[in-house]
Structure formats: structure tokens, C-alpha cells
């Protein structure tokens, strides 16, 4: 039995509050994880029943728009039908068996959500990727994961064709397109022809659900595997508490489908009965985002800090977001200045969260919690999060150290299973009783965590340890600064010094650089401890970023230190 009912049969009808409360209790670690769990059967099909019984307002479960008039709306019942069709395509046409891997690289098209659910229905392990992947990236990922199948769109198909001869495990290629391509099967056509009858496989809670390649902010991307329960149940509580989702909410997260945040959204919204809103957003455009927020009854918004940095450049008072009530951010540090600008113009706080591909939400500023600007919030249960030294000893409040999650005596169920095919790396990620995130921070006496930087990003100048984010945030408070990245730079006397790469706001771009440099240096000395000021400043037109929008300080650092 699955924990919500026998497989292949409709689950017993329960009160929605009881059901969500049960999932939430498991998610918080207060109830044991069931032996069998399948998100499609136990969560989505359950909501389909609840919806039929009138336990949900008449909003879609999935709502997609492309900004050019096209729209897709599915309730849970329709999502169930469509995803069962998709599951039949994966099982019958692609011969995917439970445990087989499928790479899923699509722009923000409805098929991404369908195929994600279809993988869960068939037991196939999904490997999402971002659409900007190059031939080299695709080859690396297909070879490393030994994926049997790939589904992608017109833009990426030629890149896959260029390397598929080097990927012997790859057996089937599905194209999401209205046209055809030799060597590829047309997914939309297959979907139309497939049956809506499909028996969801029984999956054990520990069976793999997905594999993520990390963003590769530092070094080569690593394969992180999560179980059915880890992702399927691990976001229910943070979905309630941090994202503040209920069955009447419409949640828009602008994240790319290839990044963990798209999965976080799926696995936090649907258990809570919420609607996932998606805009195709072929490119990030502040005006499109703001107009969409004004035109649709979106209640909950999540964007990476980079996007909020763009949004606050606009005159936000010109827009009316009638339904918006809760805003979130995460993925990199949020500069307090951006939070303040958003709040003063929109009237809503930005609730920052912190996590990794390896984990679910580690720290969060939950709804209703006092927000301390600049902090990434408190530990998110069931995690026991501590600041530890390099041997895994817990440090006192205020002391800087490694952000760590307790994995002994018991590893949280909502945690990556391993770095795939890399037991040494998996083992090296632990010290004593803790998993070491690779990030540095301190915790204050109230339990709030203050991010300092990734381990490698912390600057050591004449024995002063300086976190780049603090300097970047100080710079961001100056009107001339649109964005800044701070890294170490070699110095014959101090060993290393603080260097800032700055993208100027358009109105400042023609100012005298030397004068502006001095002004910015004085500004940093005024707003933070003077020893942190950037001794070197360079103005650039853009900062190197990962496709998920994170600043790649490691690239700038290598450039500074003459390393490739």
C-alpha cells in the first residue's frame, strides 16, 4: 500500500486539511516517512479527488501563458489525464522502466510539468537541465548520467544531434515542437494519440526521483540524487510556512525549468493544493514581469535576487499588483537595499530562503517571522542547522564557520542520497555529525543565519576575513551601482585585497571613473567597517553569471589571480 491508499485505485477521500497536515507532519520529521510513496499517486491523484468533491476553489492547478495570447489551464483532473498520457509515451514509446533516466531540457513550456509528473508515474528518474546548455555541456551530462532518453525543443535538438553519437546510452529522443525532425519522435503527436489510462508504478520512498547537476558556480557540476520522499515530501512544510501556500494561492516562480527552484515550486505548491503559474518568459524583461503581476491574480512571487535588482530599477508605483501578498527570493544573497526598495514601493517584504541542490530549504524567513534585513532567516525544520568548525564542532553564536546540517545519528529524509558515482565526494562533504554546505556564515543568538560567502569567496586581507556579500550590499546602497561583485585580488603587502567589479546605473555611466571610484570607496567606508572597502575598483558592463542568474565570483577571481 501507498500511504494514501492502494495503488491503482482511487485513494480514500479524506478531509483536505487532514491530508495536508499529514504530509506536513512527515515533512517536518514529526511522522515517519511511509515505506511507499509516489507523488503522482499519493499527492496529485488525491487532489484530483478532493477537487471533484468540491474541496478546492475553482482555480487551475497549472496555468501557463506565453504573453502573446496563448494560455493553458489544467485543474488537477486534467493534469492527471495529460500526465497519464505522457507516462504512456515514456513507458511504451521510450521503453522507460523504473530507474531509467530521462533528461528533460525544455523552456518554460507546459510539457516540462507534464513530463516531470509522467516520470514520477513511470518511475523514471528525471534529469532537468537548462536550455542554454552547449553541446559540450549536453555531452558531459548525457555521458555522466547515462540517460536513456531526452526530451527537448527545436532550439536544442541540433546540439543533441551533434553529440548523440558519443552518448551510447541515449536510445530515444523526443521533440516538443509543432514540426518534425529526422531521428526524433514528436512528443505532442504521441501525447495526443496516447491513452489517458495508466497505472502509476509503486515506488519506495527511497527510490530515486531526480538527479540534478549543480549550478557549477564553482568547478564542474556535480550529480545530486534525491529520493521520491526527499523531494516529494520535503517541501510541503516550507511550502506552507515559507512560501505561505494554500489551496487558493497562485504561485509564480520565474525560475528556469532546469534549476532546482522549478522543482521546489512544483513540490511545494501542489501538495498544498496551490496553482503553479508559469510565464514562458523567453527572456527576462522587467516590464513583462511587472505587467504579468498586474494582469493575473498571482498571489505569491518568487524571483532570484538578480531579477529583483532589475525590478527595483523600474518605477514600481506605476503598477498595481492586486492579488500579490507574498514575495520570496533565494539562490544567492539578497542585498538589503533591494529589499528596502521593494518594500517601500510595493508594500511587501521579501522573504529570503537558502538551500542547495543537495538539500531542501535549509534556512528561511517564514511568513509572520520578524525579518532581520541581510539575514537568510532561521533553520528550516526538520533540519538541525549549525555553524561548525572544520572538524564538525558546533561554534557559539556570532562565530563565523561552516553552515552545516546534522546528518548523524539520523540523516534527514529530505536530503540528497549521494553525489552519483562519486562516493569520495559524498564522504568528503561530511565532518563529524554534519554535512558541510561549503558556505560560511554566523548564527546570532536569536538563531538567525547571516551568510558570509561561499568558502572560496571569503577574502582574507591582512588577516581580516571579509565576506563579499557585505561589501557588495554596501556598494549597492549607492545610487551609481546597479550590481557589484567583490573578489580577492593579489597584493604584495596584504596578500590579498578587496576588489569590486561594478556595473553602473545608466545615469552614472558617463561620470569620471577615478572620481566615482573614490566616491564609492568613501561610501563603503561610511556604511560598513572601513577595512572592508574595495582598494581596487573596475567598472564593467556586465558580471559573469550562471544560467540561473548567480554571480560567478570564481571566474572573476581566476581572472584576478591569472588562473584559468
C-beta closer to ligand ATP: residue 61 or 312 = 312
Residue 200 buriedness (CB in 10 A; 0-12 / 13-18 / 19+)? buried
Cell digits of residue 522: 568613501
C-beta closer to ligand ATP: residue 364 or 537 = 364
Cell digits of residue 315: 518605477
Among 96, 333, 466, 485, binds ligand ATP (CB under 6 A): 333
**357 forms part of the interface with ligand ATP (CB under 6 A):** yes
Residue 221 binds which one of ligand ATP, Mg ion, none, with CB within 5 to 8 A depending on kind? ligand ATP
Instruction: Tell the residue number behind the cell numbers 563529524, with chain if given.
Output: 432
Rounded to 10°, the helix 76-88/110-122 angle is 70
Q: Give the whole-angstrom CA distance, residue 105 versus residue 182.
A: 19
* Cβ at position 69, least distance to ligand ATP in Å: 34
Residue 141 binds which one of Mg ion, ligand ATP, none, with CB within 5 to 8 A depending on kind? none
Among 22, 206, 218, 505, binds ligand ATP (CB under 6 A): 218
C-beta closer to Mg ion: residue 49 or 429 = 429
* Cβ at position 377, least distance to ligand ATP in Å: 8
Instruction: Tell the residue number behind the cell numbers 549536453, with chain if given.
Output: 138
Q: Which stretch binds ligand ATP (CB under 6 A): 88-96, 103-111, 198-206, 354-362?
A: 354-362
Q: Give the whole-angstrom CA distance, residue 15 versus residue 23.
A: 13
- Which DSSP category does 254 fall into? -
C-beta closer to ligand ATP: residue 27 or 359 = 359
HSE, CB side, 13 Å, CA atoms: give it for residue 115. Answer: 34
**439 forms part of the interface with ligand ATP (CB under 6 A):** yes
Q: Give the whole-angstrom CA distance, residue 348 versus residue 345.
A: 8
C-beta closer to ligand ATP: residue 40 or 130 = 130
Cell digits of residue 335: 542585498
**336 forms part of the interface with ligand ATP (CB under 6 A):** no
* Cβ at position 356, least distance to ligand ATP in Å: 4
Q: Which stretch binds Mg ion (CB under 5 A): 211-219, 508-516, 532-540, 555-563?
A: 211-219
C-beta closer to Mg ion: residue 296 or 415 = 415
Site for ligand ATP in 219-258 (CB under 6 A): 221-222
Among 330, 374, 467, 534, binds ligand ATP (CB under 6 A): 330
Q: Is 274 in contact with 245 (CB distance < 8 Å)?
A: yes
Residue 472 binds which one of ligand ATP, Mg ion, none, with CB within 5 to 8 A depending on kind? none
Residue 265 binds which one of Mg ion, ligand ATP, none, with CB within 5 to 8 A depending on kind? none
* Cβ at position 338, least distance to Mg ion in Å: 23
* Cβ at position 198, least distance to ligand ATP in Å: 32
How many residues sit close enough to Mg ion to count as binding (CB under 5 A)?
1
**306 forms part of the interface with ligand ATP (CB under 6 A):** no
Among 215, 255, 366, 386, binds ligand ATP (CB under 6 A): 215
Among 122, 214, 402, 473, binds ligand ATP (CB under 6 A): 214
Closest CA to 550 of 489, 485, 488, 498: 485
**354 forms part of the interface with ligand ATP (CB under 6 A):** yes
Contacts of 238 (CB under 8 A, 6+ apart): 27, 268, 353, 360, 361, 364, 380
C-alpha distances in angstroms, 381 versus 21, 39, 253, 432, 537?
A: 15, 21, 22, 20, 41
Q: Which stretch binds ligand ATP (CB under 6 A): 86-94, 331-339, 459-467, 521-529?
A: 331-339
Closest CA to 141 of 154, 124, 160: 160
SS (H, E, C) 348-412: CCEEEEEECCCECEEEECCCCCCCCCCCCEEECCCCCEEEECCCCCECCCCCCEEEEEECCCCCC
C-beta closer to ligand ATP: residue 81 or 132 = 132
* Cβ at position 503, least distance to Mg ion in Å: 24
Residue 366 binds which one of Mg ion, ligand ATP, none, with CB within 5 to 8 A depending on kind? none
Residues 368-397 vs ligand ATP: string with x where CB under 6 A? Answer: --------x---------------------
Q: Give the whole-angstrom CA distance, residue 562 versus residue 151.
A: 40
Q: Give the whole-angstrom CA distance, residue 344 versus residue 339.
A: 9
Instruction: Tell the residue number behind the cell numbers 509515451, with chain if given.
Output: 89
Residue 331 binds which one of Mg ion, ligand ATP, none, with CB within 5 to 8 A depending on kind? ligand ATP
SS (H, E, C) 74-127: ECHHHHHHHHHHHHHHHHHHCCCCCCCEEEEECCCCHHHHHHHHHHHHHCCEEE
Among 62, 451, 501, 533, binds ligand ATP (CB under 6 A): 451
Instruction: Tell the residue number behind the cell numbers 501542489, with chain if given.
Output: 270
Summarize as ranges the residues that interact with ligand ATP (CB under 6 A).
214-218, 221-222, 260, 330-333, 352, 354, 356-357, 376, 437-439, 451, 454, 550
Summarize as ranges the residues that interact with Mg ion (CB under 5 A).
214
Amino acid at each position: 500500500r501507498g500511504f494514501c491508499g492502494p495503488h491503482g485505485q482511487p485513494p480514500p477521500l479524506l478531509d483536505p486539511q487532514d491530508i495536508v497536515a499529514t504530509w506536513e507532519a512527515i515533512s517536518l520529521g514529526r511522522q515517519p516517512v511511509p515505506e511507499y510513496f509516489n507523488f503522482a499517486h499519493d499527492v496529485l491523484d488525491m487532489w484530483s479527488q478532493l477537487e471533484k468533491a468540491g474541496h478546492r476553489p475553482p482555480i487551475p492547478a497549472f496555468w501557463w501563458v506565453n504573453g502573446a495570447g496563448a494560455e493553458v489551464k489544467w485543474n488537477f483532473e486534467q493534469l492527471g489525464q495529460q500526465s497519464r498520457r505522457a507516462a504512456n509515451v515514456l513507458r511504451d514509446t521510450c521503453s522507460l522502466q523504473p530507474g531509467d533516466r530521462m533528461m528533460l531540457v525544455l523552456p518554460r513550456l507546459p510539457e516540462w510539468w507534464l513530463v516531470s509528473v509522467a516520470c514520477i508515474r513511470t518511475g523514471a528518474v528525471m534529469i532537468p537541465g537548462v536550455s542554454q546548455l552547449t553541446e559540450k555541456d549536453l555531452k558531459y551530462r548525457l555521458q555522466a548520467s547515462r540517460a536513456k532518453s531526452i526530451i527537448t525543443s527545436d532550439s536544442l535538438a541540433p546540439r543533441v544531434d551533434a553529440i548523440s553519437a558519443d552518448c551510447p546510452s541515449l536510445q530515444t529522443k523526443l521533440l516538443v515542437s509543432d514540426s518534425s525532425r529526422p531521428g526524433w519522435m514528436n512528443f505532442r503527436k504521441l501525447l495526443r494519440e496516447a491513452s489517458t489510462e495508466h497505472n502509476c508504478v509503486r515506488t519506495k520512498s527511497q527510490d530515486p526521483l531526480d538527479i540534478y547537476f549543480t549550478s557549477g558556480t564553482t568547478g564542474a557540476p556535480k550529480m545530486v540524487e534525491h529520493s521520491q520522499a526527499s523531494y516529494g515530501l520535503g517541501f510541503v512544510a516550507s511550502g506552507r510556512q515559507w512560501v505561505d501556500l494554500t489551496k487558493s494561492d497562485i504561485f509564480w516562480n520565474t525560475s528556469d525549468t532546469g534549476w532546482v527552484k522549478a522543482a521546489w515550486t512544483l513540490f511545494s505548491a501542489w501538495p498544498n493544493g496551490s496553482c503553479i503559474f508559469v510565464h514562458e518568459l523567453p527572456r527576462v524583461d522587467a516590464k513583462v514581469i511587472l505587467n504579468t503581476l498586474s494582469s493575473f491574480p498571482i498571489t505569491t512571487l518568487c524571483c532570484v535576487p538578480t531579477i529583483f535588482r532589475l525590478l527595483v530599477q523600474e518605477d514600481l508605483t506605476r503598477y498595481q499588483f492586486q492579488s500579490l501578498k507574498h514575495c520570496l527570493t533565494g539562490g544567492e544573497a539578497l542585498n538589503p537595499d533591494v529589499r528596502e526598495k521593494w518594500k517601500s514601493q510595493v508594500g511587501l517584504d521579501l522573504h529570503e530562503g537558502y538551500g542547495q541542490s543537495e538539500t531542501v530549504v535549509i534556512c528561511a524567513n517564514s511568513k509572520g517571522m520578524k525579518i532581520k534585513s541581510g539575514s537568510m532567516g532561521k533553520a528550516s525544520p526538520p533540519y538541525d542547522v549549525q555553524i561548525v568548525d572544520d572538524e564538525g564542532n558546533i561554534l557559539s553564536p556570532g562565530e563565523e564557520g561552516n553552515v552545516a546540517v546534522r546528518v548523524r545519528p539520523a540523516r534527514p529524509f529530505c536530503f540528497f542520497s549521494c553525489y552519483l558515482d562519486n562516493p569520495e565526494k559524498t564522504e568528503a562533504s561530511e565532518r563529524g555529525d554534519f554535512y558541510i554546505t561549503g558556505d560560511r556564515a554566523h548564527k546570532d543568538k536569536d538563531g538567525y543565519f547571516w551568510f558570509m560567502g561561499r568558502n572560496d569567496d571569503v577574502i582574507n586581507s591582512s588577516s581580516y576575513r571579509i565576506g563579499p556579500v557585505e561589501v557588495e550590499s554596501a556598494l549597492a546602497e549607492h545610487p551609481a551601482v546597479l550590481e557589484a561583485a567583490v573578489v580577492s585580488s593579489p597584493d604584495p603587502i596584504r596578500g590579498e585585497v578587496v576588489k569590486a567589479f561594478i556595473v553602473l546605473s545608466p545615469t552614472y555611466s558617463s561620470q569620471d571613473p577615478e572620481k566615482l571610484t573614490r566616491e564609492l570607496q568613501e561610501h563603503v567606508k561610511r556604511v560598513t567597517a572601513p577595512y572592508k572597502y574595495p582598494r581596487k575598483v573596475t567598472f564593467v558592463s556586465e558580471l559573469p553569471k550562471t544560467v540561473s542568474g548567480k554571480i560567478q565570483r570564481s571566474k572573476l577571481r581566476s581572472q584576478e589571480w591569472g588562473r584559468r
